[in-house]
Amino acid sequence: MKCPYCADPNTQVVDTRENEDGDTVRRRRRCLTCDKRFTTYERVELQLPLVVKKNGSRTEYDRDKLKSSMMLALRKRPVTTESLDAAIDRIEEKLVQLAEREVASDRIGELVIRELKKLDKVAYIRFASVYRNFEDLDEFSDAIREVKKPKVRRPRTA
């Protein structure tokens, strides 16, 4: 592993940790030349399907693109990076389980919506408004009603 600071290939692993699910390994490394430290992540490379866009073009699945669109919806929301990464991992697991060579971008969008709904209701509404192309306030209201929890009334005590 080359050092990102001086590009020297001589680095040493200082610490290794697995995440809770055991599917990612985090390594702290130290450059033997400049003595700076950096972190690397090791993850199994899954064979993910090609993404078929609405216009019919095909592109490779891009985890970073998915993460950036979810981060945009989660901007200034109290959701940890670990929670976001776990949600993306679940989306990727579902894509692999489909065992298809191609998947429509709409299908990925629906998986993202489900995960955002679990993570943060405001982020869900933000993403859904763009993804589902809301055209009026009624569509917003329907989406908000969908995520709103019904208030539980407590009996009054005298």
Higher pLDDT, 129 or 29: 29
What pLDDT does 43 receive? 81
pLDDT at 149 over 80: no
Assign 150 a pLDDT band (cuts: 50, 70, 90). Answer: low
β-sheet with 50-52: strand ranges across: 58-59, 50-52, 102-104
What pLDDT does 65 receive? 94
Higher pLDDT, 129 or 9: 9
Q: Tell me the per-residue pLDDT of 49-96, one tens digit each, with 9 for 90 and over.
A: 999 998 999 999 999 999 999 999 999 999 999 999 999 999 999 999
Q: Tell me the per-residue pLDDT of 87-145, one tens digit each, with 9 for 90 and over.
A: 999 999 999 998 899 999 999 999 999 999 999 989 988 888 777 666 666 666 776 77
* 139: Cβ contacts below 8 Å, ≥ 6 apart: 132
CA distances to 7, 88, 112, 149 from 131, in Å: 41, 17, 10, 23
Average pLDDT in the 137-154 region? Answer: 67
What pLDDT does 20 receive? 78
Strand-strand pairing, 37-43 and 50-52:
unpaired
pTM reported for the whole predicted model: 0.61
Residue type, 102: E
Q: Angle, nearest 10°, between helix axes 121-131 and 105-119?
A: 160
Beta strands in the chain (DSSP E): 11-18, 24-31, 37-43, 50-52, 58-59, 102-104
Domain ranges of the chain: 11-43, 50-147
What pLDDT does 17 receive? 93
* 18: Cβ contacts below 8 Å, ≥ 6 apart: 24, 25, 26
Angle (CA) 113 114 117, round 5°? 85
What pLDDT does 157 receive? 61
Determine whether domain 50-147 maps to CATH 1.10.472. yes
* 45: Cβ contacts below 8 Å, ≥ 6 apart: none
pLDDT at 152 over 60: no
Q: Take residue 49 and report the two structure tokens written for it.
A: 């399907």
* 115: Cβ contacts below 8 Å, ≥ 6 apart: 70, 87, 88, 90, 91
